[in-house]
Amino acid sequence: MKRNKAAAAPAASPRGLPPGLPPEVRPGQSIELLQELHILTRDGKLNQDSRRKLKQVYHLYQFIEPLLKEVREQSGERGVSLVDHGAGKSYLGFILYDLFFKGLNDASHIYGIETRAELVEKSQQLAVKFNFPGMSFLPLSVAESTTSQALPEQIDIVTALHACNTATDDAIDFALKKKARHMVLVPCCQAEVASVLRKNKGQSLGKSALTEIWRHPIHTREFGSQVTNVLRCLQLEAHGYQVNVTELVGWEHSMKNELIIATYKNLPRRRPSERLQEVLETLGLQEMGQRFYSAHVAE
Ligand SMILES: C[S@@+](CC[C@H](N)C(=O)[O-])C[C@H]1O[C@@H](n2cnc3c(N)ncnc32)[C@H](O)[C@@H]1O
């Protein structure tokens, strides 16, 4: 019996997408872009790794979309400016642009900051290919970008996902200087605080039984990492931000799944500034005062 080809074809997706696409792909999303980002294969499939990547980015999008909407409501024609630090291949930037920015008729812009020139170049090419004029990529370190003339004086939203080591701290410094309204940070390992704890261990041990918390080398590393995020949160609060710390679910492959969201509310700074100083002193980390500077002390 002859098969009816039309009858054998998969039914059109009820979501208005070409048939056969994984359910993770959203209406309006560019299939070609997802393929270029190697999230979808050439035949429109998701492998295990890219399914996870997409899930993570969507999970973050859930937090970022309301922030974008809020800024847009207040900014009018100026639109939203977002800087993504340690952008890597810019999955986040491209997916944000595709889902939110591409339909806007204003001056909204995403800037990707990345030290690896080849990744910057590739992202620039992709932005041209997909006609995303509101995207720019700069081959700069996060610290360099703070004073770069290529960026505006004020930025609305700053993101930094797994930006290596102290790049998250530089992103916080950038956001404070640019008076960012929101920050969305998923820190990576930071070795600096642990190294200072290690260096000063001899003097600290014996001062209090609590120094046992970081006596063993593996504990020094883990505690250093934990304290780093505590200091970051206090620093943000000491600049008037409201801070929420949560877990970035869907990030199962990574040990680093802490999500810090900070929103500027002009909150009182004195108490968190004092707490910040106290934690630095208690842990023998006074020399980190420059890194975790606080507005109250600087005023
Ligand atoms: C682990 S990758 C994360 C990439 C991307 N944010 C993501 O989540 O897929 C970290 C990226 O940050 C970049 N990077 C590290 N330190 C940096 C710095 N100080 N300034 C700018 N980029 C940096 C690295 O080159 C790398 O591409």
Both tokens assigned to 20: 């056969």
DSSP for 153-166, written as a single string: S--SEEEEES-TTT
Q: Relative to the CA of 90, which ligand 1 atom is closest?
A: 5
Which of the four pLDDT bands, split at 50, 70 and 90, describes residue 228? very high
What's CA 174's distance to the chain center, in Å? 13
22-54 residues labelled b (16+ CB within 10 A) or e (exposed):
eeebbeebbeebbebbebbeeebebeeebebbb
Closest CA to 86 of 187, 192, 179: 187
- Spatial distance between the Cα atoms of 72 and 37, rounded to a whole number of angstroms: 27
Which of the four pLDDT bands, split at 50, 70 and 90, describes residue 2? very low
Work out the average pLDDT over 110-128.
98
Both tokens assigned to 152: 């505006």
The one-letter code for the residue type at 76 is: G
In this structure, the residue with its CA closest to atom 20 of ligand 1 is: 141
- Taking only the tens place, the pLDDT of each residue in 143-165 is 999 999 999 999 999 999 999 89
To test the pocket of ligand 1, the residue of 114, 116, 120 to mutate (highest count of ligand atoms within 8 Å of its CB) is: 114
User: How many CA atoms are closer than 13 Å to the CA of 171, on its beta-carbon side?
Assistant: 32
* Whether 101 contacts 29, CB under 8 Å: no
Given a cut of 80, is residue 272 above it in pLDDT?
Answer: yes
Residue 210 or 179, more confident: 179
Residue 213 per-residue DSSP state:
G
Closest CA to 262 of 277, 242, 281, 234: 242
CA-based torsion, 3, 9, 53, 135: positive or negative: positive
In this structure, the residue with its CA closest to atom 10 of ligand 1 is: 163
Is the CATH number of domain 52-188 3.40.50.150? yes
Question: Where are the chain's structural domains?
Answer: 52-188, 189-247+264-299
The one-letter code for the residue type at 114 is: E
The one-letter code for the residue type at 96 is: L
Q: Relative to the CA of 188, which ligand 1 atom is closest?
A: 1
- Spatial distance between the Cα atoms of 239 and 186, rounded to a whole number of angstroms: 19
- Spatial distance between the Cα atoms of 259 and 185, rounded to a whole number of angstroms: 6
In this structure, the residue with its CA closest to atom 14 of ligand 1 is: 86
Give the distance (Å) from ligand 1 centre to CA of residue 182. Answer: 20
Task: Tell me how far CA of residue 118 lies from CA of 25, 37, 165, in angstroms.
Answer: 28, 15, 21
Does this model's pTM top 0.85? Answer: yes
Which of the four pLDDT bands, split at 50, 70 and 90, describes residue 119? very high
Give the distance (Å) from ligand 1 centre to CA of residue 167. Answer: 8
